[in-house]
Amino acid sequence: MTDVQAFRTGDTPLPDIVILTHKLTRDYDMGGEVVRALRGVSLQIRKNEYVAVMGPSGSGKSTLMNLIGCLDTPTAGEYWLNGQKVSALSDDELARIRNKEIGFVFQTFNLLPRANALHNVELPLIYAGLPTKDRRARAARALARVGLADRMDHRPNELSGGQRQRVAIARALVNEPSILLADEPTGNLDSTTSAELMQVFQDLHHQGQTIVMVTHEHDIAAHAARVVTLRDGLVATDQLRAA
Amino acid sequence: MPFLEAVRLALQTIRAQKLKSGFSAIGVFIGVTFLIGAWSIVNGMNRYMTDKFAGTLVGVNTFHLRRRPNVNFNVEDSVWRAWRRRPRIKFADADAVTQGLRMPVVTAWYSEDRGSVEYNGKVAKDITLEGATERYFDIMNLKIADGRAFTPQESKAGTTVVVLGYDLAQKLFPGVNPIGRTVRIHGIPYRVIGVVERQGNLLGISLDKFVVAPALSPIQREVNPPGVVDALIVKANSELEMRDAMDQTEAIMRSRRHLRPRQDDNFVMETSEGVLDFWKKLSRILYVVGPGLVGVALVVGGIVIMNIMLMAVAERTREIGIRKSLGARRRDILRQFLAESAALATVGATLGIGTGIVLSLLLKVATPLPAAVSPFSILLGVVVGGGVGIVAGVYPASRASRLDPIAALRQE
Per-residue pLDDT of chain B (412 residues; tens, 9 = 90+): 667 788 888 888 888 888 888 888 888 898 888 888 888 888 777 777 776 666 666 677 889 999 988 776 677 888 888 888 999 999 999 999 999 999 999 999 999 999 999 998 889 999 999 999 999 998 888 889 999 999 999 999 999 999 999 999 999 999 889 999 999 998 999 999 999 998 877 667 788 899 999 999 999 988 899 999 999 999 998 889 999 999 999 999 999 999 999 999 999 998 877 777 777 777 788 778 888 888 888 898 899 999 999 998 999 999 999 999 999 999 999 999 999 999 989 989 999 999 988 988 888 787 766 777 888 888 988 898 889 999 999 999 999 999 999 989 988 7
- Taking the Cβ of residue A35 and every Cβ of chain B, the question of whether any pair is shorter than 8 Å is answered with no
Please compute the mean of the pLDDT values over residues A3-9 and round it to a whole number: 67
With H, G, I as helix, E, B as strand and everything else as coil, classify residue A60.
Answer: coil
Burial of A31 (0-12, 13-18, 19+ CB in 10 A): exposed
| Min distance A211 CA to chain B CA atoms (Å) | 17
Beta-carbon separation of A171 and B327 below 8 A: no
| Min distance B382 CA to chain A CA atoms (Å) | 29
Compute the distance between CA of residue B408 and CA of residue B5 in angstroms, rounded to an integer.
Answer: 23
Which residues partner with B108 through β-bridges?
B233
Task: Give the strands of the sheet with A50-54, arranged side by side.
Answer: A102-105, A179-183, A210-214, A50-54, A226-231, A234-240
Beta-carbon separation of A91 and B329 below 8 A: yes
Beta-carbon separation of A98 and B324 below 8 A: yes
Question: Identity (one letter) of the amino acid at A116?
Answer: N
Q: Can you give the residue ranges of every domain in chain A?
A: 48-73+91-240
Beta-carbon separation of A69 and B325 below 8 A: yes
Task: Give the strands of the sheet with A17-30, arranged side by side.
Answer: A33-46, A17-30, A76-81, A84-85
B360-388 burial by CB neighbour count: b if 16+ within 10 A, else e?
beebbeeeeebbbbbeebbebbbebbbbb
Q: Is residue B256 a contact partner of residue B96, using CB atoms and an 8 Å limit?
A: yes
Torsion angle (degrees, nearest 10) of CA B402, B407, B409, B412? -120
- Taking the Cβ of residue A71 and every Cβ of chain B, the question of whether any pair is shorter than 8 Å is answered with yes
> Closest partner residue to A66 among B322, B331, B406, by Cβ?
B406
Nearest to B21 by CA among B277, B311, B336: B311
Note the helical H segments in chain A.
Answer: 61-68, 91-101, 117-128, 132-145, 161-173, 191-206, 218-221
| Residue count (chain B) | 412
Q: Is residue A232 a contact partner of residue A71, using CB atoms and an 8 Å limit?
A: no
Q: Is residue B141 a contact partner of residue B274, using CB atoms and an 8 Å limit?
A: no
Chain B CA closest to residue A102: B326
Beta-carbon separation of B325 and A171 below 8 A: no
Chain A CB contacts of B318 under 8 Å are 110
Q: Is residue A177 a contact partner of residue A100, using CB atoms and an 8 Å limit?
A: yes
Chain B CB contacts of A104 under 8 Å are 325-326
Chain A CB contacts of B410 under 8 Å are none
| Residue count (chain A) | 243
For residue A29, the model assigns a pLDDT of 87
Quote the ipTM score.
0.92
pLDDT digits (tens, 9 = 90+) for B313-357: 999 999 999 999 999 999 999 999 999 999 989 989 999 999 988
From residue B284, alpha-carbon distances to B276, B288, B375 in Å are 12, 6, 21
Nearest to A180 by CA among A104, A120, A106: A104
Architecture category of domain A48-73+91-240 in CATH: 3-Layer(aba) Sandwich (3.40)
Compute the distance between CA of residue A104 and CA of residue A66 in angstroms, rounded to an integer.
Answer: 10
Phi-psi region for residue A4, left (φ > 0), alpha (ψ -120 to 50) or beta?
A: beta
Beta-carbon separation of A127 and B329 below 8 A: yes
Compute the distance between CA of residue B276 and CA of residue B370 in angstroms, rounded to an integer.
Answer: 16
Chain B CA closest to residue A113: B319
Chain A CB contacts of B5 under 8 Å are 126
Q: Is residue A84 a contact partner of residue A17, using CB atoms and an 8 Å limit?
A: no
Chain A CB contacts of B321 under 8 Å are 110
The overall longest dimension of chain A from CA atoms, in Å, is 53
Question: Identity (one letter) of the amino acid at B358?
Answer: V
CA-derived radius of gyration, chain A: 18
pLDDT digits (tens, 9 = 90+) for B360-389: 888 878 776 677 788 888 898 889 888 999
**String of DSSP letters for B165-206:** -HHHHHHHSTTS--TT-EEEETTEEEEEEEEEPP--EETTEE
Compute the distance between CA of residue A57 and CA of residue A62 in angstroms, rounded to an integer.
Answer: 9
The overall longest dimension of chain B from CA atoms, in Å, is 103
Compute the distance between CA of residue A233 and CA of residue A198 in angstroms, rounded to an integer.
Answer: 27
